[in-house]
Amino acid sequence: MRKISDIQWEIPKSFRNDMLVPARVYATEEMLDNIIADNSLKQLVNVASLPGIQTAAMVMPDVHEGYGFPIGGVAATKYPDGVISPGGIGYDINCGVRLLKSNQTVKDLYRYMMPLSKEIYKQVPSGVGKSGTLKLNNKELDRVFRDGAKWGVEQGYGVQDDLINIESNGTIKNAEPDNVSEHARERGADQLGTMGAGNHFVEVDKVSKIFDKEIANAYGLFEGQIVVLIHTGSRGLGHQVATDYIRKMINALSKYNINLPDRELACVPFSSPEGKEYFSAMACSANFAFCNRQLITWEVRNAWNKIFGNGMGGLELLYDVAHNIAKIEEHTIDGKKQKVIVHRKGATRAFGPGHNELPEKYKHTGQPVIIPGSMGTASYVLAGTTKSMEESFGSTCHGAGRQMSRHAARKQVNPDKLRNELLEKGIIIQAGSMRGISEEAPTAYKDVHSVVDVVDRAGIAKKVAELKPLAVIKG
């Protein structure tokens, strides 16, 4: 491993004869000790062998081992004949985060945190396999698959301004509902507006620190402000789409003469029938996830209005961004602009100032980037940069990143003790599962401050604000 800088390292493509590009790691030297403890670097080297991969395979400082690709990974393949790989997106397609901002301060509202957290827990269905209040038929599902968050707004679950503040306006193009299996449809039909379990949450936070006043002002953030984070994805629907197409692609490897160091990297040329079908089904799942977060926003707003009435103002959407997705984007490679298929798995889009996909109000600041931490620590709002466009295909980290398995966390963490410790810090936990509290303990995750510090120092995202939790709602 070659040291590029104090926070960037490279495994040259000469390391293994099947590597087509180098493998790059954003991390401090201290972080590397933790990273090499699992198979994430081996997986990164494997990704560097994918047909059509461009520039480098990359991982962010929140990297940890995943299915095929490491979580925290970024890989861009040549469009249209490079490969697309479901392992480079993940099972929870368009798992992502949105941030809602109020015009109220913690000083005004802290005494309401307990009733507010209970009302949000009541309004937002959560837990493994949990159903929502909607049960969509196939025709309605098709509309969600094609229109994403737009469908939710049209049905009264939001306002038009919400759509402006969502990545891709909440709708990924090229969605083809016919390529979503009946089993996937069954799993998703009653899960719109639900949070799920695992690391998903709704969290009421305060803005604890401002790092860049000018960008914070443009984002409408100020110190002491109450904000709400929503973190979830496409639920059982996306998981089934990934399962369906990984199986199809494993069976198609020989058809396209693709030899892989790991079958979990199953992939096909993007331009192939299987590649087009997967991408269109992935787009359906991504749109479902955007719509899911839109309906949860409606539920959170209902909870807010029930506790505060109309006297405390509403909750405005700052931004919604995906961190498990593949997108066709244009980037400059070797001085030339070209289209690529950017795989982001546990990595967040971080487009810099002036990009034509950004809302007008964020064109001069760069895209808002929402980075959730573990419950009990902190989360961050960052801004995308020009350097991220030059260096990391407009990408940065996505969170703290696990450093302990769920099984190990359950063995080591007493959930009652943790709940009490967090309460002593002024953090309320509403959760349906004591097991889930143990699995998501702060000790199970890397230090989010260190992770964010690395991407800030690397220049691929810029620190804008730090958020501290007041109430965490989980499945």
Share of the chain above pLDDT 70, in %: 100
Distance CA 185, CA 68 (A): 25
How does residue 132 score in pLDDT terms, banded at 50, 70 and 90?
Answer: confident
The Cβ of residue 55 has, within 10 Å, a number of other Cβ atoms equal to: 18
Share of the chain above pLDDT 90, in %: 89
Cβ pair 230, 177 in contact under 8 A: no
Instruction: Indicate if the pLDDT at residue 83 is higher than 90.
Output: yes
Distance CA 464, CA 216 (A): 6
Residues 6+ apart with CB under 8 A from 269: 51, 52, 80, 81, 82, 83, 84, 256, 275
Q: What is the pLDDT of residues 351-395, one digit of tens each?
A: 999 999 999 999 999 999 999 998 889 999 999 999 999 999 999
Instruction: Indicate if the pLDDT at residue 297 is higher than 80.
Output: yes
Q: What is the pLDDT of residues 12-65, one digit of tens each?
A: 999 999 999 999 999 999 999 889 999 999 999 999 999 999 999 999 999 999
How does residue 198 score in pLDDT terms, banded at 50, 70 and 90?
Answer: confident
> Residue written as tokens 């368009």?
94
Which entry of 231, 239, 343, 398 is annotated as an active-site residue?
398
Instruction: Indicate if the pLDDT at residue 475 is higher than 80.
Output: no
- Which CA distances in Å does 464 have to 48, 99, 107, 126? 32, 14, 22, 30
Q: What is the pLDDT of residues 141-191, one digit of tens each?
A: 999 999 999 999 999 999 999 999 999 999 999 999 999 999 999 999 999
The residue-averaged pLDDT of 255-273 equals 97
The residue-averaged pLDDT of 75-91 equals 97
Instruction: Indicate if the pLDDT at residue 310 is higher than 90.
Output: no
Q: Name which residue leads in pLDDT, 375 or 201.
A: 201
Show me where the domains of the chain are located.
2-403+445-474
Q: Is the Cα dihedral 291, 295, 298, 304 positive or negative?
A: negative
Lowest mean pLDDT across 3-12, 159-168, 407-416: 407-416
Q: What is the pLDDT of residues 218-258, one digit of tens each?
A: 999 999 999 999 999 999 999 999 999 999 999 999 999 99
Q: Report the pLDDT value the prediction gives residue 15, as an integer from 0 to 100.
A: 98
Mean model confidence pLDDT for the chain = 96
The residue-averaged pLDDT of 317-325 equals 98
Distance CA 170, CA 167 (A): 6
The residue-averaged pLDDT of 323-344 equals 97
Tokens of 239: 């998981």
Residues 6+ apart with CB under 8 A from 310: none
Distance CA 455, CA 59 (A): 11
Q: Report the pLDDT value the prediction gives residue 436, as an integer from 0 to 100.
A: 82
Q: What is the pLDDT of residues 342-353, one digit of tens each?
A: 999 999 999 999
Distance CA 132, CA 294 (A): 13
Q: Report the pLDDT value the prediction gives residue 99, as an integer from 0 to 100.
A: 98
Residue 173 DSSP code = S
How does residue 133 score in pLDDT terms, banded at 50, 70 and 90?
Answer: confident
Q: Which fold has domain 2-403+445-474?
A: tRNA-splicing ligase RtcB (3.90.1860)
Q: Active-site residue 398, yes or no?
A: yes
